[in-house]
Structure 1
Amino acid sequence: MVLTIHSAAREAGGFLTVNGSLKNTGTAAFVNTTAWRGNELTSSGTSVAGVTLIDKAGKKRYYVLRDTDGRCLCTTGVSTIEAGQSVAFFAQFPAPPATTTEVDFTLPTFATATLKISG
């Protein structure tokens, strides 16, 4: 699996939205997506709710926002990614302070990546 981040952008209302894609570069269907949902938002089902952002300068971790029913504001329904298939994803977070220009992105099973925030 290859994880690509396309953007990490501040949005009106104090949100930060991360957009990206997950591509199965293997020869068989990938079904090991359970870890991506994390332990906290299991009501979101198969999702990328386990993603977090870390503001190292501000010493704060940001979790995916939730709706009033406790479901993540993120891509859901990711249970199988066929060989060669790419799946787009998004995750929305509370925006860090305007002085924060970079955050570390973590999704279980993938290495941590540093993202520059736009907007």
Structure 2
Amino acid sequence: MAADVVTLCGSTRFKDAINAENARLTMEGNVVISLGLFGHTDLPDYDWTTDATDLKTMLDRLHFQKIDMADRVHVVNVGGYYGESTAREIAYARSIGKPVTFMESRPGDPS
């Protein structure tokens, strides 16, 4: 039986939680596609909230490709939180028929 491919989504400020979910899902036998860059820690002086440069556009495009490659998307939402970028990724995944699961349940978020 082939392993599921799971793409992780979530705020880069949750680097430790994302890495922990990566490890947990891997140990369950999944192929995990994670974030390639944790902007909040890897580039702490970069203003991700106002950036309209090619870097953010390219990284967003890459993450959508990772969603395309997945069997499902898993959202790392510590305390139920996810921001606008993750909300766009969730909407995109659902629009192409990918199941979405959440690390923590949040009222109004169907899986």
Query: What TM-score does the superposition give when structure 2 sets the normalisation length?
Result: 0.26
Of Structure 1 and Structure 2, which has the larger fraction of its residues in strand? Answer: 1
Query: What TM-score does the superposition give when structure 1 sets the normalisation length?
Result: 0.25
Of Structure 1 and Structure 2, which has the larger fraction of its residues in helix? Answer: 2
